Amino acid sequence: MAERRNDNKKEPWRDPSAQAYVQIENVTKRFGDFVAVNNVSLKIYQHEIFCLLGGSGCGKTTLLRMLAGFEPPSSGRILIDGKDMADTPPYERPTNMMFQSYALFPHMSVAKNVSFGLEQEKLPKAQIASRVEEILDIVKMREFAGRKPHQLSGGQRQRVALARALAKRPKLLLLDEPLGALDKKLREQTQFELINIQERLGVTFVVVTHDQEEAMTLASRIGVMNRGEIVQVGTPSEIYEFPGTRFVADFIGSVNMFEGQLIEDLPDRVRIRSAELGGVVYVDHGISAAPGAVVWAAIRPEKINISRTAPADAAENCVSGVVKEIAYMGDLSIYLVKIASGKMVRVTLPNTERLSDHERILWDENVFLSWHSSSPVVLSQ
Amino acid sequence: MKRRHWFSKTGLWLGLSFLYLPIVSMIVFSFNNSRLVTVWDAPNSPTLKWYGELFRNEQILGAAWLSIRIAAMTATGAVVLGTLAGLVLARFGPFRGRALLSGMTTAPLVMPEVITGLSLLLLFVALEQLTGWPEARDAATITIAHITFSMAYVTIVVQSRLAGFDNSLEEAALDLGARPAKVFFRITLPLIVPAIMSGWLLAFTLSWDDVVVSQFVAGPGSTTLPMVIFSKVRLGVSPDVNALATIMVLIVATGVVTSAIWMRRQERRRDREMQMAAAANK
Amino acid sequence: MARPSIPKPTARLLSGRLGPWWELFYRFGPPRWTTYMRHNWAGKRLVIAVPYLWLLLFFLGPFIIVFKISFSEVRLAMPPYAPLWQWVTEKAIDVHLNLGNYLFLLTDDLYVSSYLYSLKVAAISTVFCLLIAYPMAYAMARSSPATRNIYLMLIILPFWTSFLLRVYAWIGLLKNNGVINNVLLALGVIDEPITMMQTDFAVFIGIVYSYLPFMILPLYSNLEKHDFTLLEAAADLGAGPVTSFLRVTLPLSVPGIIAGSLLVFIPAVGEYVIPSLLGSSDQLMIGRVLSDEFFANRDWPVASAVAIAMLLLLMVPIMLFQHFQSRELAGAK
């Protein structure tokens, strides 16, 4: 795990005395025989942007819908602000949700959509009007207040949906794939706007997404879900740099995985002999696994060096191979190198300089791959 | 591919002429002077004689008025019950007995009318024996019978309209603090208004048109317009029926054409607005 | 579908007060609750109950009564049937279960031949309906959206005008001195009028004519959803128009064909108005037989037996229709 920074106020999850705003305790949801959410426990703190990340059908949306109150948990309980939500219907919860489809009421204008929630609170008319204007200002949609949803573009609808969900000033905002329906450019731009709005209003966000880039940009913490279970919770960099399982390593970014056996297991260093690699991986930090156990060394493609000549210390953390594929992506290039065992190793190199063809490593060249002893992550499951 | 298109196009026009041939002939002969409906009495036609006769026919006018009242009540009742059933089937998820409800709402669509009529009459008779109600069969029993078979159509229309809408609209309203009853009246109901309107008209037409079921459940004092027409035409063709048919076709055609034009306009405006919204995004 | 847990003390209290009734009531409620429904369960059940009870009372209930009466004997009274059971003493019931009505149906030629004739007429009419409707629906689905709506309106318009009057109009056309014969005579195609009224032909015409929209609409709504790039793909792969129709369009439109056919066939079997107005009185369709038994002979038990037998005959097609209907509605989501 990463070096601990207990004193950091911005990371309440490191503080054991901090009070969680949302507590999910052993929650399971079954639909017939299908277990959508399996014994999930989570703590989400105030002012967080917590992303639930996972593939389709992993249970992330079901978990969100349980927070909103649309589905009751089959077992376990959900506490929001210390209060058990079991008997609280959605219309009495301190949460609001932004739907994946936006779910804008097609027969109401933008202003009416936004004021709908406020009208339910029976606020005075003048106050509703000023709150609507204020929130439409925040999402920059004030001039469209009189339009109907079908008169808006996709990005505008997204803003209205956000405004409608924020209008009641919920403590907890649930966002189901908030940017899923937008095109790539608009998505990037909107991500930062979302963060700005969240910081300005101090709302706690729980975001469901299948897009790891989106999760990395938005989240203060990410909960990776697979088959109804939370497999890992951590900050984006923790999840990326220190994945806890092979699933997480593989799901977030790309990774080269070498299966091997522990041959040396000391508190400050580990050696793994891997037949797949045809060599030894030396790692400069300890892990917890039985000696002789089967483990996997995971190395990110950007943490591997590629060179024509063998590095100085070639005994460990080094392997040779032949370049089989090169993909030029503009900002970086991806190399697929076939090593002796037949395994393809993925390497990315940033294109920091303009190289002419004879300087650049090309197809069918023999190359050496090497990495620093801090780079591999050892995974036992 | 062009060739087959030509073939089906011809088929379409032949089929349409088949559909309209009898209607057109009825309209034409409603202006014929002769009592022999099919022989064109050229010297004295066209004439409005049969229209005049129609409007002097107390029996037909009375029956028409009764039919209109029954049809309006039927349509209203069927819309209430059918909307509830459609809502339950489209939105309430699985519950015990759902299959039976769905069966009971689709079966009337194809149930032969004689069976529906017979069974309802026997029910009324049995009810009368048990409870003393209905003492006599009249407009009320006809209305109940008509509601029963026409609510199925309303259910289907409402259900398929609701199926076209995302469940999340109602969830969003709940999430924003509206209670279920309010969600229904503020969100669901406005969305299905078009379905409810067409369901109402459909139920009205079905009731207005029905002769078989009415024959079974009607009492001596309650003769609906289709029953009058049926007994008239069983005895032979009569020209004032042609006049009546012409009036009905005229009313229906005006209604259908206006609503089609209105809908087309709405749709066009909507399309244009959506295009503009999409263009503004670029 | 987990049962919601009602708080134990509440449940105990309620079952103590209301005994097994509470259990029964609770058990037959909607099993899958979302939280808001749990809070609104009274309202939700009311919404379910209203149409449910109506249909139970006025749709399902009558069939049970028809079924019951089909086993009783006819008698001269009002109502004209004998009760199935009577309290002989306080404890004994005397049940008169009379299968005679059904035996009568099976042994009397009139009924068997009427059933067969009805099935034949309905089947032939359905086939003709399909043959006429398919090209029409196809042409509609292939035209531009604007003209499509006009065609749709033209198809639906007759449906909104009185069915009875439209059948009646055919009398004027088909009679011996009717429009068709007059035109053909005037053109010299025929020398003497063809008898068309009170023939099977007239009944076919009447049924095909009246039920045509019911065949066109499901077919159209199926064909309209077809992705016509499929035909382009088939053409691209070397299929001629006929092959791609037979191998792509036709198989894909089977659900529409079945739905339309059932919508025509099932009511046509029990059709009453059309054969009464256009058909002959020598060979009766079963709907006519039923109504004659009921109105003319006042034999309610036999009429009931005829109805039950007809229902049994149509059970399979009706269930098939329901299957397709619910699939269609589920697919719309």
CATH number of the domain within which B68 lies: 1.10.3720.10
Cβ–Cβ below 8 Å for B177 and A106: no
Confidence (pLDDT) at B149:
93
Task: List the end-to-end C-alpha distance of chain B, in Å, as a whole number.
Answer: 38
SS3 content of chain A, % helix, strand, coil (to 5): 25, 35, 40
CA atoms C277, C278, C283, C288: torsion sign = negative
Token pair belonging to B41: 């009495």
Taking alpha carbons only, the member of B71, B198, B23, B239 closest to residue C158 is B23
Q: On the CB side of C324, how many CA atoms lie within 13 Å of its CA?
A: 20
Contact C289, C272 (CB under 8 A): no
Confidence (pLDDT) at C23:
42
Confidence (pLDDT) at C22:
41
Name the E strands within A16-159.
22-31, 34-44, 49-53, 75-80, 83-84, 95-98
Confidence (pLDDT) at A240:
93
Structure confidence by residue, pLDDT tens digits, B95-131: 888 889 998 988 888 899 999 999 999 999 889 888 8
Q: Is C305 within a domain?
A: no
Percent of chain B having pLDDT more than 90? 47
Structural domains counted in chain B: 2
Confidence (pLDDT) at C13:
43
Confidence (pLDDT) at A336:
94
Cβ–Cβ below 8 Å for B168 and A89: no
Q: Is B137 within a domain?
A: yes
Contact B123, C68 (CB under 8 A): no
Structure letter (DSSP) for residue B169: H
At residue B34, the 3 state secondary structure works out as coil
Going residue by residue through chain A (381 aa), what tens digit of pLDDT does each one get?
333 334 445 788 888 888 899 999 999 999 888 999 999 999 999 999 999 999 988 999 999 999 999 888 999 999 999 999 988 889 989 999 999 999 999 999 999 999 999 999 989 999 999 999 999 999 989 999 999 999 999 889 999 999 999 999 998 999 999 988 788 888 888 888 889 889 888 899 999 999 988 999 899 999 999 999 999 999 999 999 999 899 999 998 889 999 998 888 888 888 888 888 888 888 887 777 777 788 899 999 999 999 888 887 777 888 999 999 999 888 889 999 999 889 999 999 888 887 776 678 888 989 999 999 889 988 887
A 244-303 → B contacts, CB under 8 A: none
Q: Is B127 within a domain?
A: yes
Contact A53, A176 (CB under 8 A): no
Show residues of chain C in contact with B92, CB under 8 Å: 30, 44, 47-48
Q: Is B154 within a domain?
A: yes
The band of C85, judged by pLDDT with boundaries at 50, 70 and 90, is: low
Contact A255, A299 (CB under 8 A): yes
Q: Among all chains, which residue has been given the structure tokens 């058909």?
A: C279
Show residues of chain A in contact with B274, CB under 8 Å: 150-151
C235-268 core/surface letters (b: 16 or more CB in 10 A; e: else): eeeebebeebbeebbeeebebbbbbbbbbbbbbb
What's the rounded Cα separation, in Å, for the pair B272 and A151?
9
Q: Is B258 within a domain?
A: yes
Cβ–Cβ below 8 Å for A151 and B179: no
The band of C332, judged by pLDDT with boundaries at 50, 70 and 90, is: very low
Does B256 lie in the same domain as B190?
no
Of C59, C153, C242, the CB nearest to B148: C59
Minimum CA–CA partner of B276 in chain A = A151
Does B175 lie in the same domain as B88?
yes
Structural domains counted in chain C: 1
Show residues of chain C in contact with A91, CB under 8 Å: 36
Which residues is A307 bridged to in the sheet? A368
Percent of chain B having pLDDT more than 70? 95
Confidence (pLDDT) at C90:
60
Task: Report yes or no: C82 at the B interface, CB cutoff 8 Å.
Answer: no
* Mean pLDDT confidence for C120-141: 94
Show residues of chain A in contact with C40, CB under 8 Å: 89
pLDDT for C93 beyond 70: no
Does B177 lie in the same domain as B62?
yes
Confidence (pLDDT) at B220:
83
Residues 6+ apart with CB under 8 A from B251: none
> What string of H, E and C letters represents the secondary structure of A211-242?
CHHHHHHHCCEEEEEECCEEEEEECHHHHHHC
* Mean pLDDT confidence for B268-276: 86
Instruction: Please confirm whether the linkage preceding A73 is cis (ω < 30° from 0).
Output: no
Residues 6+ apart with CB under 8 A from B249: B23, B26, B27, C161
Here the CATH number for the domain that contains residue C138 is 1.10.3720.10
Task: Report yes or no: C218 at the B interface, CB cutoff 8 Å.
Answer: no
Q: Which chains touch C (3 or more CB pairs under 8 A)?
A: A, B
Confidence (pLDDT) at A127:
94
Cβ–Cβ below 8 Å for B177 and A121: yes
Q: Is C241 within a domain?
A: yes
Q: Is C303 within a domain?
A: no
Confidence (pLDDT) at C181:
87
Token pair belonging to A56: 């389709």
Structure confidence by residue, pLDDT tens digits, B121-150: 999 988 988 888 887 788 999 999 999 999
Confidence (pLDDT) at A4:
38
Confidence (pLDDT) at C89:
60
Task: Report yes or no: B166 at the A interface, CB cutoff 8 Å.
Answer: yes
Q: Is C265 within a domain?
A: yes
Confidence (pLDDT) at C104:
83
CA-based nearest distance A195→chain B, Å: 22
Structure confidence by residue, pLDDT tens digits, B19-51: 999 999 888 888 888 776 666 777 777 888 889
Minimum CA–CA partner of C260 in chain B = B110
Cβ–Cβ below 8 Å for C164 and B226: yes
Of A92, A99, A153, the CB nearest to B172: A99
Q: Among all chains, which residue has been given the structure tokens 């690699």?
A: A277
Minimum CA–CA partner of B4 in chain C = C241
Q: Which chains touch B (3 or more CB pairs under 8 A)?
A: A, C
Min mean pLDDT across A19-23, A33-37, B275-279, C213-217 is at B275-279
What's the rounded Cα separation, in Å, for the pair C133 and C112?
31
Does B199 lie in the same domain as B281?
no
Q: Is C250 within a domain?
A: yes
Query: What does DSSP say about strands A204-209 and A49-53: parallel, antiparallel, or unpaired?
Result: parallel
Does B248 lie in the same domain as B144?
no
Cβ–Cβ below 8 Å for B178 and A91: yes
Does B193 lie in the same domain as B142?
yes
Does B220 lie in the same domain as B190?
yes
Q: Among all chains, which residue has been given the structure tokens 């999430």?
A: B175
The band of B280, judged by pLDDT with boundaries at 50, 70 and 90, is: low
Does B141 lie in the same domain as B274?
no
What's the rounded Cα separation, in Å, for the pair C39 and C16?
22
Task: Report yes or no: B177 at the A interface, CB cutoff 8 Å.
Answer: yes
Confidence (pLDDT) at C6:
45
pLDDT for B1 beyond 70: no
Interface test with A, best of B166, B168, B176, B193 (most A CBs within 10 A): B176
Token pair belonging to C138: 């196809």
Show residues of chain A in contact with B166, CB under 8 Å: 101, 103
Q: Is B46 within a domain?
A: no
Q: Is B15 within a domain?
A: no
The band of C87, judged by pLDDT with boundaries at 50, 70 and 90, is: low
Q: How far is CA C68 from CA C72, C99, C301, in A?
A: 7, 11, 9
Most distant CA pair in chain A, distance: 76
Q: Please give the residue range of the domain that contains residue B162.
A: 58-235
Percent of chain C having pLDDT more than 90? 32
Consecutive H or E run containing B108:
helix B98-110
Confidence (pLDDT) at C11:
44
Taking alpha carbons only, the member of A255, A254, A184, A247 closest to residue A54 is A247
Q: Is C79 exposed, middle or buried (0-12, 13-18, 19+ CB in 10 A)?
A: middle
Order across the sheet with A221-226: list the strands.
Answer: A95-98, A172-176, A204-209, A49-53, A221-226, A229-234
Q: Is C132 within a domain?
A: yes
Report field, pTM of the whole predicted structure over 0.90: no
Cβ–Cβ below 8 Å for B174 and A91: yes
What angle do the packed helices B58-91 and B189-209 form, to 10 degrees?
140
pLDDT for C42 beyond 80: no
Does B96 lie in the same domain as B226?
yes
Of B12, B108, B113, the CB nearest to C135: B12
Show residues of chain A in contact with C39, CB under 8 Å: 87, 89
Q: Is B208 within a domain?
A: yes
**Greater confidence, C17 or A272?**
A272
CA-based nearest distance B120→chain A, Å: 40
Confidence (pLDDT) at C331:
58
Cβ–Cβ below 8 Å for C31 and B96: yes
CA triplet C107, C109, C110: central angle to 5 degrees?
120
Task: Report yes or no: C29 at the A interface, CB cutoff 8 Å.
Answer: no
C 177-196 → B contacts, CB under 8 A: 177-179, 182
Q: Is C38 within a domain?
A: no
Q: Please give the residue range of the domain that contains residue C117.
A: 110-298
Taking alpha carbons only, the member of B193, B264, A88, A236 closest to residue C145 is B264
A6-27 core/surface letters (b: 16 or more CB in 10 A; e: else): eeeeebbbeeeeeebbbbbbeb
Does B219 lie in the same domain as B188?
yes
Q: Is C289 within a domain?
A: yes
> What string of H, E and C letters represents the secondary structure of C280-313?
CCCCCCHHHHHHHHHHHCCCHHHHHHHHHHHHHH
Interface test with C, best of A28, A35, A87, A93 (most C CBs within 10 A): A87
What's the rounded Cα separation, in Å, for the pair A238 and A242?
5
Minimum CA–CA partner of C325 in chain B = B106
Does B231 lie in the same domain as B241?
no
Confidence (pLDDT) at B215:
92
Confidence (pLDDT) at C27:
41
Token pair belonging to A212: 């790891």
Cβ–Cβ below 8 Å for B39 and C177: yes
Contact C209, B18 (CB under 8 A): yes
* Mean pLDDT confidence for C112-136: 94
Show residues of chain A in contact with C38, CB under 8 Å: 72, 87, 89
- What is the count of residue pairs from A and B with beta carbons less than 8 Å apart? 78
CA atoms C132, C136, C139, C142: torsion sign = negative
Confidence (pLDDT) at B17:
93
Of C1, C34, C40, the CB nearest to A71: C34
Q: Among all chains, which residue has been given the structure tokens 């990326």?
A: A240
Cβ–Cβ below 8 Å for C35 and A30: no
Residues 6+ apart with CB under 8 A from C207: C121, C122, C125, C129, C264, C268, C271, C274
Q: Is B102 within a domain?
A: yes
Of B174, B211, B253, the CB nearest to C36: B174
Cβ–Cβ below 8 Å for C2 and A88: no
- The dihedrals phi and psi of C7, each to the nearest 5 degrees, come to -55, 135
Contact A42, A53 (CB under 8 A): no
Q: Is A119 exposed, middle or buried (0-12, 13-18, 19+ CB in 10 A)?
A: middle
Does B250 lie in the same domain as B110?
no
Amino acid at residue number C16: G
C60-73 core/surface letters (b: 16 or more CB in 10 A; e: else): ebbbebbbbbbbbe
CA-based nearest distance C232→chain A, Å: 30
